[in-house]
Structure 1
Amino acid sequence: MDQAADKLQTATGLKTATEKAEETSLNSFYRVVVGSIQTLQREKRLHQFSKDYFDTIVVDEAHHAISPGYQKVLQYFDQAQVLGVTATPDRGDMRNLGSYFESLAYQYSLPEAIKSGYLTPIKALTIPLKLDLSQVSMQAGDFKTKDLGTALDPYLEQIATEMEKVCKTRKTVIFLPLVKTSKKFQEILNNHGFKAAEVNGESDDREEVLQDFEAGEYNVLCNSMLLTEGWDCPSVDCIIVLRPTKVRGLYSQMVGRGTRLAPNKKELLLLDFLWLTERHELVHPANLITESDDVAKKMTENINEADGPVDIEEAEVQATEDVVAEREEALAKKLAEMKRRKRKLVDPLQFEMSIQAEDLTNYVPAFGWEMSPATDKQQKSLEKLGILPDEIDNAGKANLILDRLNKRRDAGLTTPKQIRFLEQRGFQHVGTWQFEVARKMIDRIAANGWRIPNGVDPKTYV
């Protein structure tokens, strides 16, 4: 809370009142209150305020906003405007933030932040240790921490040996599933020549240890999921996640401890292990930068096969190209089948691939209305514009495609029917052509008895 108040004052000049424990904001002349959710959700504390006391509520770490404690406060001040801010907008229990928030106000991605110079580049390195998670059970949608600690124990010596090869000159934070595992690994690391410290929720000297780590007294800091939110040490340049997870938000929080800029810091090294599990898809470095499952899987394969650390932005570019090539191969087979069926409407996948719209192909609905089936009106509009509506399974995707079609019409680009006609005859990415160029080519084909004119090779035609 002190950190939030300090940053708010630095950025805006606004000083704040505080609502926590014995401190209260009532009768303060400051217009902004920084409050603890643990304090505010208490009945007695909450009812000291009138329901219209706040005009605006900003929820930091807003991925928690749909939990009962936050909802108790937000529903009490139900006349206030609410803005949620989070670096990790998804929840482990898969309850969607769209069930509470009405719209996405602004999105700033990790690659954008790295390109703009606000965060450090990330390089991922796969460590060739095969850690078996097949016996680890699940709890609340993720791996059970007690089982994880037991599964991890036999590998700690080997992990320390691997760390000696890449971490000796780096400032490293390690996330582990249990306090006892964290303490055990600290001892092992010190025996391997590291200067390792450990912090947990019951550490009396936690502040002192964190300050000493920041000052360089230690080069490795072990913790059992204590430092996932709210702690900043910009000089950290290596993150090791020894708490495998299915939850992208949790993984992002852990990696986020190492993405801050610092003098002489060139990159963040992110170590990834070969976790063996047959039942569950784990979060890997690839999931930090892409929401496409296909691209993430291909990135993870490529990083695993690389000889050294791989820049995750470069890895995404390569994986995207690989996935597009695979999709185009699959699309070619689908188009051949469509030719046989002589379908008059364009399959949405063909349209998306033709106009090279990765955002449409990887679209995932977020808000309630987006998840519902496409309306009759949307389906009729899509069909009228030449798109087969049967393959579009939600209203959000239908809305995006209709919006894209309108923008393409205004920009004078090809229609779905032109795309279908010309791509059936072997022309490539007709979705990137101008409407008039496509019309003239179709006229030439029609004038030639519906055959490709001499001198035109559809596969190489630009």
Structure 2
Amino acid sequence: MADAMRDAILNGFVDQNYLGSEELGPKILANNQQERIWQTLRQELYSCKSFTWAIAFITQDMLVPFKVIMADLAKNGISGTIITGDYLGFNNPRVFTELQKIPNLEVRIANKAGFHTKGYLFDHENYQTVIIGSANFTRSALLANYEWALKVSSKKQADLTAQLVDKIADLKQDSFVLNSAWLTDYRKNWVKPERVATDRHQTKILPNKMQKAALKQIEALVASGEKRGLVVSATGTGKTYLGAFAVKKYQPRRFLYIVHREQIAKKSLESFYRVIGGPRSDYGLLTGNRHNLQAKYLFATVQTISQPEMLANFNSDEFDYVLIDEAHRAAAPSYQRLLHYFKPNFWLGMTATPERMDEQNVYQIFDYNLAYEIRLRDALEEKMLAPFHYVGVQDYEADGVAIDETTDLRYLASTSRVDYVLKELDYYGYCGTKAKGLVFCSRQDEARELARLFSQKGHPAVALTNEDNEKRRNEVVASLVKGEIEYIVAVDLFNEGIDIPALNQIVMLRNTQSSIVFIQQLGRGLRKYPGKDFTVVLDFIGNYKNNYIIPLALNQDTSRSKDQAKRETRLPSFIDVSTINFSKIASEKILASLDSVKLDGMRELRQSYHDLKNKLGRVPLLFDFYQYGSVAPIVFAQNHGLASYADFLGKMGEDVNLSKYENEVLSFVTKELLNGKRIHELLLLEMLLEQDIVKQEDYLAQLKRHHAYVNDELLASVDAILSLDFFDIKQGKTTKKAQYGKLPLVERSNLFDYQFNGSLRSALDQHDFKNLFVDAIKTGLALNQEYDNQRQFTLYQQYDRKDACRLLNWPKDVSAPMYGYRVGEQDTPIFITYHKDDHEKRNALYRNTLADGRSLRWYTRVPRHLDSDEVQRLLNTRGMNLHIFVKRSDADGKQFFYLGKAKIQADSVREELLGVKKKPAVGMNLMLKHPLSESMHELLFE
């Protein structure tokens, strides 16, 4: 630690060429795409022994993610102190109430006049870290605002630390512990600070930024002569107003609006009237209760207008513009009857959830004309919805028994579970003066019993199921909005259609069955409402097989990449100022679920394929998956059951005609180049698709344009890859080269020209092959945008052992016998699995440890001695590049994160005896040249 602290100080305050430490070095913190100040505070909280914060302003909207961490810290006996105050009346009394709920936190009120500090002090084992700057403990300051904060660490005997301790002691002495009497008095005298009014009196409704973009796309569809179009718009993003703006622009002779509920028809009529205006008599309803058949703007329920005797009142060309709301229902017979009968100039479909679990193709119904798409993430980033704070917590457990899919009702609705749930609901709280929550559970009898117990314990609740009619549902919703009850307990009843903008809590007390339903239920609480600054989403996570769906749904991640899903679970996620937080135990349950599921199984890939095919109206290519954020193309390449995407298309029943050689070439490009980890081969293949012969000077110029490094070893490596010589390694009874067709893809006509071999040139005349070959290259080039082509490896990207052999320009793939490392002439790649899954395994003998966020203790194979040739070459510090690759555990597959180059700490090298048999190995400290980032530290080592 002493050396690391010294180096951090020298690096930060003397010369940046000294080896520094991300953990200990001084750093300017800010909010941007790559980092947020809150992430650093979070990391410090999880690694400290105690903390003291002196912060003037605190907002309730930042307390939810803070409480998640404090609950985890409480389990480890770690506590802290916050010193705050009443300066300018900024702190809402509710903030103090919520802070009092945190048992391992002492809250003190400063007596200092004009108390306006913004300092965060963390005590670690033998050093302290302080963060001081412009950022108060508010959501805006820690997640969004343009703020600066200086992070500095120092030893406990340092003068800076002594000054800090004195300042804190002085502040503590001139403060008192928050108490009920003070809070009662503060609440009584508190006057809410006035905010500058913004458009408070605006009466004219105008389209927002995303609605304007959508309107342009709809108008373009109409102008091009298309008859149908679909808008996908997340719940709460104003799709009704968007429809009204579109209709106003079109100025139809007569307009028909179709929806499945009378309540929605009535609300939509009012919204259209506000936007379009005109005589009130132009607007009418066609429902079971109202028959305004002559209205210019007719709002109808599908149940009424689809009746044959009702349709007889209208000519087929009666309406020149028809809008179907909740258009994902349009495959139902009643809607189909209308779609076949009416002949308007334009049909507009609008839905929040085009993906259907019943496999009906909504896109096809609207001629695959996706006019615009506003997904949940887009809407949150555009501030069209209320932000949310999602918290995944452990569900109730007793005697080590957890809730799962088979749990009996007696346990699901037991008094002890309800007590636990209510305690968590109170701890994490809500925005506003009273809870207005919607609870989703699994079964009707569970809903009724939970509602009874909630009410019995002082939290009035009503159960609603599909047995309750619309009148009853409306009455219960009205009771919730008025504050007469606190909770509605439902069973998949409020997934769509009914809006309760006043909701400030969403509670998940059930297994997550699908991303679609999860987002529908989450969306219920995100509509904006006066006084609602955020919604708390509390998810009680049991031992469910489907837990893995949760991070995928929250992050709208359809990539089918397990690595990505694990990152989303282990690290905090943000959507604008919305936060996604898992307690440590809940995170472990989700990771266990991820380890036991096959995200990229053929069943899952088939579903994703058909979803995208339905959306596009044609056979999707790999680049379509990349472009539309669906399955990560690399998933197809890494699937051991697929030789290439052509192989997958065949399994999907598509007619793809390829020869054996064409299949082999596609397999090579898919398995070896599609990942985009090196651009050089892909660029040459792309150039050869355009011209028969590529001169080396032109190839070099193209590499330069793409800022790709070049040397003689690299060019020789490209030759070895594209000639397949790199793969000429025995594997069983054959070679890898034989699997790729044996023939070199690219030949040299002389020393300086490249060309395809004759067989490949002929194959490119075949449409199916060329289409798939070009697609793989195009996709690989797109994926390469994530990599730095000026270097062999990109920091914090993932690589396997074969990637290392190729990118180090080695002539052969020697990854099979590499195991933990291979000492080359100039480069030694070292692969480290940090957490050993099995202590009996051979590699568990090598107890790698991380110190100071920059130093790894590492061991050679056994038996090795200090004078072994391999060790001597390794210690040749002048001529040897050590490349460090680390993965968290064996469960994380073959891919390792690249942590950069390292140097050996000379005085740490020593021969040691390892394992039960005491075999000799050489241990040494590997000092990372790039101090580990906080997020990578958390991802790999915590």
Specify the alignment match of 2:318 in structure 1.
53
- Name the SS for the 1:99 alignment partner: helix
- Name the SS for the 1:27 alignment partner: coil
How has the CA–CA distance of structure 1 residues 300 and 230 changed in structure 2, closer, same or farther, with 3 Å as cutoff?
farther
1:3 aligns with 2:267: yes
How many residues align? The count is 364
Specify the alignment match of 2:839 in structure 1.
none
Give how far 1:261 is off.
1.7
Structure 1 unaligned regions, length at least 5 = 136-148, 323-347, 365-370, 393-400, 402-412, 422-432
The 2-side partners of 1:460 and 1:288 are apart by: 28
Specify the alignment match of 2:363 in structure 1.
98
The 2-side partners of 1:78 and 1:230 are apart by: 27
Give how far 1:25 is off.
3.8
Specify the alignment match of 2:341 in structure 1.
76
Q: Deviations over 1:115-157 (max 9, x none)?
A: 111112222222312322158xxxxxxxxxxxxx958745574
How has the CA–CA distance of structure 1 residues 19 and 119 changed in structure 2, closer, same or farther, with 3 Å as cutoff?
same
The 1-side partners of 2:287 and 2:555 are apart by: 36
Q: Deviations over 1:173-192 (max 9, x none)?
A: 11234444322111111233
How has the CA–CA distance of structure 1 residues 67 and 208 changed in structure 2, closer, same or farther, with 3 Å as cutoff?
closer
The 1-side partners of 2:327 and 2:303 are apart by: 15
- What does residue range 5-20 of structure 1 map to in structure 2 within 5 Å? 5-13=269-277, 16-20=283-287
The 1-side partners of 2:505 and 2:707 are apart by: 57
Specify the alignment match of 2:497 in structure 1.
230
1:117 aligns with 2:451: no
Larger radius of gyration: 2
The 2-side partners of 1:391 and 1:38 are apart by: 54
- What does residue range 21-420 of structure 1 map to in structure 2 within 5 Å? 21-28=288-295, 30=296, 32-78=297-343, 81-103=346-368, 104-129=370-395, 130-134=402-406, 150=409, 153-154=412-413, 157-167=416-426, 169-170=429-430, 171-200=436-465, 201-202=468-469, 206-278=473-545, 283-284=549-550, 286-294=552-560, 299=565, 303=569, 311=574, 359=629, 362=632, 373=654, 388=666, 416-418=682-684
The 2-side partners of 1:181 and 1:68 are apart by: 33
- Name the SS for the 1:107 alignment partner: strand
Give how far 1:249 is off.
3.1
Specify the alignment match of 1:427 in structure 2.
none
Give how far 1:260 is off.
1.1
- Name the SS for the 2:362 alignment partner: coil
The 2-side partners of 1:310 and 1:192 are apart by: 34
Residues 286 and 296, structure 1, Cα contact 8 Å, conserved in 2: no
The 2-side partners of 1:39 and 1:297 are apart by: 50
The 1-side partners of 2:562 and 2:304 are apart by: 40
Q: Deviations over 1:345-395 (max 9, x none)?
A: xxx98x999xx978375479xxxxxx885888xx9xxx9xxx949989xxx
How has the CA–CA distance of structure 1 residues 25 and 108 changed in structure 2, closer, same or farther, with 3 Å as cutoff?
same
How has the CA–CA distance of structure 1 residues 388 and 227 changed in structure 2, closer, same or farther, with 3 Å as cutoff?
same
The 1-side partners of 2:717 and 2:409 are apart by: 70
Residues 124 and 310, structure 1, Cα contact 8 Å, conserved in 2: no
Pick 1 or 2: higher relative contact order, CA cutoff 8 A, min separation 6: 1
The 2-side partners of 1:70 and 1:27 are apart by: 21
Compute the TM-score of the two structures, normalised by the length of structure 1. Answer: 0.64
Give how far 1:113 is off.
0.8
Give how far 1:210 is off.
2.2
Residues 403 and 412, structure 2, Cα contact 8 Å, conserved in 1: no
Give how far 1:9 is off.
1.6
Specify the alignment match of 1:459 in structure 2.
793
- What does residue range 435-446 of structure 1 map to in structure 2 within 5 Å? 435=702, 437-438=704-705, 445=712
Specify the alignment match of 1:344 in structure 2.
none
The 1-side partners of 2:563 and 2:320 are apart by: 45
Give how far 1:36 is off.
0.1
Structure 2 unaligned regions, length at least 5 = 1-264, 396-401, 431-435, 582-586, 592-620, 636-651, 688-699, 720-789, 796-942
How has the CA–CA distance of structure 1 residues 281 and 302 changed in structure 2, closer, same or farther, with 3 Å as cutoff?
closer
The 2-side partners of 1:254 and 1:180 are apart by: 20
When structure 1 is superposed on structure 2, of 441-450 and 237-246 the one drifting more is 441-450
The 2-side partners of 1:391 and 1:54 are apart by: 53
Aligned partner of 2:266: which letter? D
- Name the SS for the 2:293 alignment partner: coil
Give how far 1:39 is off.
0.8
CA RMSD of aligned residues (A): 4.6
The 2-side partners of 1:457 and 1:301 are apart by: 25
Aligned partner of 2:425: which letter? V
How has the CA–CA distance of structure 1 residues 127 and 237 changed in structure 2, closer, same or farther, with 3 Å as cutoff?
same
Aligned partner of 1:11: which letter? V
- Name the SS for the 1:106 alignment partner: strand
- Name the SS for the 1:284 alignment partner: helix
How has the CA–CA distance of structure 1 residues 448 and 57 changed in structure 2, closer, same or farther, with 3 Å as cutoff?
closer
When structure 1 is superposed on structure 2, of 241-250 and 60-69 the one drifting more is 241-250
Give how far 1:252 is off.
2.4
Give how far 1:160 is off.
4.4
The 1-side partners of 2:713 and 2:557 are apart by: 43
Q: Deviations over 1:412-453 (max 9, x none)?
A: x999334899xxxxxxxxxxx99462578687649987899x
How has the CA–CA distance of structure 1 residues 16 and 414 changed in structure 2, closer, same or farther, with 3 Å as cutoff?
farther
Residues 61 and 84, structure 1, Cα contact 8 Å, conserved in 2: yes
Residues 552 and 558, structure 2, Cα contact 8 Å, conserved in 1: no
Residues 441 and 508, structure 2, Cα contact 8 Å, conserved in 1: yes
| Structure with higher strand content | 2
Identity score, percent: 21
Specify the alignment match of 1:328 in structure 2.
none
Q: Deviations over 1:32-79 (max 9, x none)?
A: 211101112212112322222222221111111112221122122255
How has the CA–CA distance of structure 1 residues 225 and 419 changed in structure 2, closer, same or farther, with 3 Å as cutoff?
same
Residues 413 and 450, structure 2, Cα contact 8 Å, conserved in 1: no
Compute the TM-score of the two structures, normalised by the length of structure 2. Answer: 0.34
The 2-side partners of 1:234 and 1:96 are apart by: 30
